[in-house]
Amino acid sequence: MQSIKIGSDIDVPSVGFGFWKVDNSVCWQVAVDAIEAGYRHLDCAADYGNEIEVGEGIKRAIDSGSVTRDQLWVTSKLWNNFHRPEHVRLAAEKSLSDLGLDQLDLYLMHFPIALEYVPIEERYPPGWFHDPEVDHPVMNPIDVPLGDTWQAMEELVEQGLVKHIGVCNFGVSLLRDLRSRARIQPAMLQIELHPYLTQQKLVRYCHEVGMGVTAFSPLGAQSYFELSMADASESAINQKAIVSIAEDV
């Protein structure tokens, strides 16, 4: 597996397997199969609701000798309801426990959005709506400066729970503001990035400051079809060039 160097000393496997929308009933086997197929970069998140199953797959792969922990790059993400500084470590420890790991390679702020806290024992993952059972569910935004959340994430690095920290779904303005306040610079930005959404200026800025970029939905936005947020014209997966490469390799 090729790697991408970001910053001065961080090597990230260049192709990752994302676990968004992988069904819980098959997720541990999918994780095992991905690792045996050669994936070394596993992209997880509290909001995906399957970190326990991913952790089971990682354990089985390690126990079978397919891989060692040091050969894996495991990412997880801080969900919106845990942005208050006193909740950041709680969220990270929950993901670590579910994944069966002592340390994450990368922990990302999933969105630049803070929502009212929902206790883990009450509902997990909490999702977007504060009470999804009411007739008209709504989000409950709260005022938490991104810098406060970031400072708590920096403490996770200092406490040894995560190696690197970063963000998802940020634009250049938010990145500039965050970097101006950060003691530990964001190592990675994860964004939707594919032939129909190239985000060239944003990617160029990240390269200029030494920040890595993870592309989600790199073959197009087919994951959004069922949400009516994209259609088939925004998918590259059936393009002749992609099909040809797939047939070759």
At 143-186, the pLDDT tens digits run 999 999 999 999 999 999 999 999 999 999 999 999 999 999 99
Catalytic residue numbers read: 48
List the one residue out of 125, 137, 188, 126 whose CA is nearest residue 162.
188
Instruction: Judge whether 47 and 110 are in contact, CB under 8 Å.
Output: yes
pLDDT in tens, 105-146: 999 999 999 999 999 999 999 999 999 999 999 999 999 999
The rounded distance, in Å, linking the Cα atoms of 239 and 247 is 12
d(CA 41, CA 23): 19
pTM: 0.95
